[in-house]
Amino acid sequence: MTSRAFIAGCAGPNLSATERSFFRDAEPWGFILFARNVADPDQVRALVADLREAVGWMAPVLIDQEGGRVQRLRPPHWTDDPPAEAFGQLYLSDPSAALEAVRLNSRAIAADLYALGIDVDCLPCADLRHPDGHGIIGNRAYGTEPVAVAALARAAAVGLMEGGVLPVLKHIPGHGRAPVDSHEKLPVVTATRGELEGMDFAAFRDLSDLPLGMTAHVVYADIDPDRPATTSPVVLSEVVRGSIGFDGMLMSDDLSMGALAGTMETRGRDALAAGCDMLLHCNGKMEEMEKVAASAPVLTGEAYARAAKALSLRVVPDPVDARQLRAAVAAQLKTVG
């Protein structure tokens, strides 16, 4: 199946005729859902089916379902899950219990997603929590030390994959020190490359074999003072593919975020030229999606191979009782003093 190197959002809970026509012609590789696309389980299942019907194959459907502040599926139809920080706190006193709790929590999330047809979760977040970093990461981080963060992120990824859902490692090579919210402004991190390699990048190095990753819209001034990682050939080649060794399919963070400058076409072309395999555009605005699509080539070569390898890891999971899993997680987290 021919696809082009971008992932698209849509405007609301149902596809319009215009969106159906656009997706059929533009052939995005995948789709991403947000709260604006969610009403109830039957509606989400129908939307997922309609998105795939528009492109004619079992295209991946993504969502951000981390727990805590970042989860698109909410009560009353779904459960609010704990933020990453809760598992990090448990890890300090009982690492093995924390790792199992993270795995079970992600397995429960995967059960919810798989029941809707959603097969990619933008989780785990391997960013470190830094005291001088902006709160956009905050309790989304598993902790402050790369060894613990990597271990917990690995367990989260395992739980998702056991449940038939692919994980997306984010935000490569590290958003934790960013002094501003990249949704609004371009963050500039001034730490030395040595500091970053020893701390922030180290967590990602231990997760370099995960199938999918998402870049950070962050400038690392000691490495490339002019461009954020997403559009920096230096950061993507020397750090992400180089010292970190990430060999999975690399998607940009959302091209519509305020951290990036220029037109959508320029943003897309710069990200691909820097080394991204896939463009991500989230807001569902048709005029922007058309420009992103214009900058996205047919998926070929190494990018195609990485995307195909990731999709080959999708499995049909064994059934589980998500409520029982969450009860076990809650019992473990209650032990944190």
Active-site positions read 183, 253
Query: What is the C-alpha separation between 35 and 77, in angstroms, rounded?
Result: 13
Cβ neighbours around 157 below 10 Å, total: 27
**Chain-centre distance for alpha carbon 135:** 18
Q: Which of the 8 DSSP states describes residue 172? A: E
Kind and range of the H or E run holding 332: helix 322-333
Cα atoms found within 13 Å of the Cα of residue 77, Cβ hemisphere only: 15
User: Cβ(18)–Cβ(41) under 8 Å?
Assistant: no
Q: Which candidate, 29, 126, 108, 23, places its Cα nearest to that of 71?
A: 108
Q: What are phi and psi of 6, to 5 degrees?
A: -150, 155
- For every residue of 244-262, DSSP letters joined together read S---SEEEEEETTSTT--S
Report d(CA 56, CA 65) in Å as an integer.
Answer: 26
Determine the Cα–Cα distance for residues 276 and 252; give it in Å rounded to an integer.
6
Q: How far apart are CA 204 and CA 210, in angstroms?
A: 10
Return d(Cα 119, Cα 98) in angstroms, integer: 25
Kind plus residue range of the DSSP H or E element containing 116: helix 95-116
Residue 273's CB is within 10 A of a number of other CB atoms, namely: 11
Q: Three-state SS for 212?
A: strand
